[in-house]
Amino acid sequence: MKKLMSTLFVIAAAANMAVAGDKPDFSGNWKMDADKSVFGPMPPPTSMTCKITHKDPDLSIEQQQSGAQGDQTMMFKYSTDGKETTNSLMGNDVKSKAAWDGKVLVVKSSLDAGGTEVKLTSKYSLSDDGKTLTQALSISAPQGDFDMTYVLVKQ
């Protein structure tokens, strides 16, 4: 019985290590491919770059974009183990929880924008060759729901 338990423990530990090794590393400098991205009803940015530092469970994203609303630099920090984090977006606190769903990182966020609750769900996925990062973003607000997709190419 002891030998069986030891064997099961080794198999379980190996399986956990294999799963951890399957999680992608999003680190790098990324540039938006506007032709492959979908912006829904929002005006598209003219340019967007992201510098991502990812050492699981810590993930930080420095995003710079230019567009109709001018130039913006935004910083986001997440913990991929499901711990809640708080970031600031245009003066509003955004509370987020990030967790892995297989190879996809799902970030669920909510914010109070002047008395209006907005919910965001981002799903980050990396192509098999590691050169394309896709962020599928769903936004739910009292004005309606819509989806956007940012396709970013590694620089």
Please state whether beta strands 92-101 and 70-79 pair in parallel, antiparallel, or not at all (unpaired). Answer: unpaired
Spell out the domain ranges in the chain: 26-154
Q: For the segment 134-147, what is each residue's pLDDT rounded down to a tens digit?
A: 999 999 999 899 99
Place of tokens 């980050």: 124
The predicted model gives 101-115 an average pLDDT of: 94
pLDDT number for residue 154? 98
Q: Distance between CA atoms of 5 and 9, rounded to whole angstroms?
A: 6
What is the tens place of the pLDDT at every residue in 10-20?
333 333 333 34
Distance, CA of 68 to CA of 35 (rounded, Å):
18
- Better-scored residue on pLDDT, 8 or 103: 103
pTM: 0.83
Residue 90: the pLDDT is: 83
Q: What is the pLDDT of residue 18?
A: 36
pLDDT of residue 19: 39
Smallest CA-to-CA distance from 93 within 63, 71, 120, 113 is with: 113
26-154 falls under which CATH superfamily?
Answer: Calycin beta-barrel core domain (2.40.128.20)
Q: What angle do CA 32, 36, 38 make, to 5 degrees?
A: 90
> By the 8 A CB rule, do 95 and 84 touch?
yes
Choose the weakest-confidence range: 10-14, 69-73, 76-80, 113-117. Answer: 10-14
Nearest to 47 by CA among 60, 38, 34, 36: 34
pLDDT of residue 21: 57
Percent of the chain with pLDDT over 90: 75
C-beta atoms surrounding 36 within 10 Å: 13
